[in-house]
Chains A and B, each alone.
Chain A
Amino acid sequence: MAGGGRGLGFTAGLAVAVVTIQVAASSAHKVFYLTQLTMSAYAMLIVLGLALLMGYAGQASMGQAGFFAIGGYTAAFLTTFDLAPHRGSVVVSLLGRMHLLLTRADGSGGSITHVHPWAAALFAIVLAAAIAWLVAGPVFRLRGHYLAMATLGFGIIVHRIFLGSSLFGAADGISDVPALALLPGFAITGRAASRVSNYYAAWGVVLLTLWMLSNLIDSRIGRALRAIHGSENAAAAVGIPIARFKTQVFVLAASLAAVAGVLLTHFNGGIGPSDASVMKSVRFVAIVAVGGMANLRGALAMGTVLTFLSLRGYFGTFDDLVFGGILLAMMLFAPEGIVGGQLWQRLKSANPLKVR
């Protein structure tokens, strides 16, 4: 599996590709491509987390867009909701005393006071993780693949909540989300002037995530997850608490989706309910299925290409159809289901992207 040495080789190769693409795009005066590549990078955080969950722990989640949206909407709401009228309240004054409030000019000449973007980001991720934990706990006490059903229902509920509540902008979503300052003079923002730096920041986060997840797979925890996937009896017989580990990896995947939600929302300057739709979740499952189960690199490569093409509009009105079709094709060629071990094996031997 992803041993330290080979993992570094792939990471280095990917880093070279990232730089090459930027140089090529800049010298060809097509820097606008980098915007979609940045957005693709953030989507890959969701894909990597889901690949870990599906490929190594053997659990499919149909609700990753929900966790993405919880992360994004929470960050957007907390950094756009004006707290100035509520200064008297205990919570707001406490936030003020902890220096977690920020005042900035709004679009119409006034000013708004809101939660510091970093505090909002942290809260958004912790909130998504907590919700994932609440969703997964009961599901994993049952044996089998109930997570797909539970998360499908969860995703629909989350989508409806964001779509239906005026507090979150209903069908319009939330806009005017400020930049997320990373370093002095550098922030996660969609402004054209910082396109290149944001492209590097996004892919830096992806590389870091890939490195960490490869470490995990090659660790005691990764072996425990693979044991759970391969044989729950074997896992239990060596003392691996199956339900707890499934829950933890699900929470990890949900947190990664929330990180993607936070960062992409700051990059885009807003988020809308379509980002929370179940079709988005299906898309991530399709990407992981086609990228190769238990193959983070395959999922990353296929996911980047497909997401980039989709964002550039190459699939036109067939956008959802393409991802649905991919999933259907996977089902047809692997009738026992997308989380079955046989498909995993078949993909491993058939996938030309698999680095051996």
Chain B
Amino acid sequence: MATQVLEVRELGRRFGGLQAVADLSFCVTRGVVKAVIGPNGAGKTTLFNLVSGFARPDTGSVCFLGEDVRGLPAHELARRGMARTFQQIQLVPGMSVLENVLTGRHRHTRAGFLPSLLRLPRTVREGRAAREHCRETLAFLGLADYAEAEAVSLAYGLQRLVELARALACEPQLLLLDEPAAGLNMRETEEMAGTIRRINATGLTVLLVEHDMGLVMNISHEILVLGAGRRVAEGTPHEIQGNPDVIRIYLGEDDDQGP
């Protein structure tokens, strides 16, 4: 197994006159929690979209599990083991928590149209196993009591957890979390930190984008700081906290004159 789960090289993407991400290179090592931080408009979400196939890069390459995946569609990356959550929660209305999480089992189940139409014994068994797996995932995140509730009717903090459960149900090699603490109160944010740590403890590699400095410093092994789509700094939380360039961009100096 490659020790680098993700290798990004010289990645670039322009939207009209705005260079959202420029000449960006970094790696994510197996087993770590890595955070991407930066001021608003630094290109964090664009970076996530480029890596996970929701947007196409103009330049550069993305290597996932040792394979070049640049330009592949999002569902293909998910199929290969990259799961993600969204800043704007993306749950399916009209579906229960359990059903939403069951969609995460897609890449681990096989039944096509015909076996599903005919409810073959094999299909029923596969569905039952998927349900059991998802109930375990829900229990792991403390959502067991909400399994039958409609997902979009839950409190915001719980909806974030349901999205996380769905991503975990994918049993990914890499988990991308886009602002997992956005919209959460302090207590919920602390719980989220504990949850991410528990997820990481199972051996899952996590790459996250986050605004909440407390959360980032608390759970990350490595931090990548972006400013105006470029790398400003990269290192351990301790190194980042003392980095003068990072302090400068966070105090709001004009990005054009930045490093």
A and B, one complex? yes
Does A231 make an interface contact (CB < 8 A)?
A: yes
Collect the chain B residues with CB atoms within 8 Å of residue A344's CB. 94
Known A-B contacts A220-B130, A221-B116; the reply to A234 vs B111 at CB < 8 A is no
Does A216 make an interface contact (CB < 8 A)?
A: yes
Among candidates B92, B116, B169, residue contacting A234 with C-beta atoms closer than 8 Å: B92
Known A-B contacts A222-B116, A233-B86; the reply to A348 vs B94 at CB < 8 A is yes
Does A282 make an interface contact (CB < 8 A)?
A: no
Among candidates B83, B90, B95, residue contacting A223 with C-beta atoms closer than 8 Å: B95
Flag if B106 contacts A224 (CB, 8 Å): yes
Does B109 make an interface contact (CB < 8 A)?
A: yes
Among candidates A4, A226, A235, residue contacting B94 with C-beta atoms closer than 8 Å: A226
Flag if A252 contacts B73 (CB, 8 Å): no
Collect the chain A residues with CB atoms within 8 Å of residue B207's CB. none
Interface centre among A213, A223, A224, A294 (most CB of B within 10 A): A223
Known A-B contacts A220-B105, A223-B102; the reply to A240 vs B75 at CB < 8 A is yes
Flag if B73 contacts A221 (CB, 8 Å): no
CA distance A216 to B102 in the complex (A): 15
Among candidates A219, A236, A248, A341, residue contacting B75 with C-beta atoms closer than 8 Å: A236
Among candidates B54, B104, B119, residue contacting A215 with C-beta atoms closer than 8 Å: B119
Interface size on B, residues (CB 8 A): 43
Instruction: Classify chain A: how many residues form its interface, as a range.
Output: 20 to 34
Instruction: Give chain A's interface secondary structure class.
Output: helix
Instruction: Give chain B's interface secondary structure class.
Output: helix
Among candidates B74, B95, B102, B116, residue contacting A236 with C-beta atoms closer than 8 Å: B74
Flag if B75 contacts A294 (CB, 8 Å): no
Collect the chain A residues with CB atoms within 8 Å of residue B90's CB. 231, 233-234, 237
Does B93 make an interface contact (CB < 8 A)?
A: yes
21 contacts between A and B (CB under 8 A): A1-B95, A212-B117, A212-B118, A213-B117, A215-B116, A216-B117, A220-B105, A223-B102, A229-B92, A230-B92, A234-B86, A237-B83, A237-B167, A238-B83, A239-B75, A240-B75, A241-B75, A241-B76, A252-B113, A345-B93, A345-B94
Query: Which B residues have a C-beta under 8 Å from some C-beta of A?
Result: 52-54, 73-76, 78-79, 83-86, 90-95, 99-100, 102-107, 109, 111-113, 116-119, 123, 126-127, 130, 166-167, 169-170
The 5 A-B pairs with the shortest beta carbon distances in the complex, nearest first, are A230-B92, A239-B78, A219-B116, A236-B74, A234-B90
Query: Which A residues have a C-beta under 8 Å from some C-beta of B?
Result: 1, 4, 212-213, 215-216, 219-224, 226-227, 229-231, 233-242, 248, 252, 294, 341, 344-345, 348
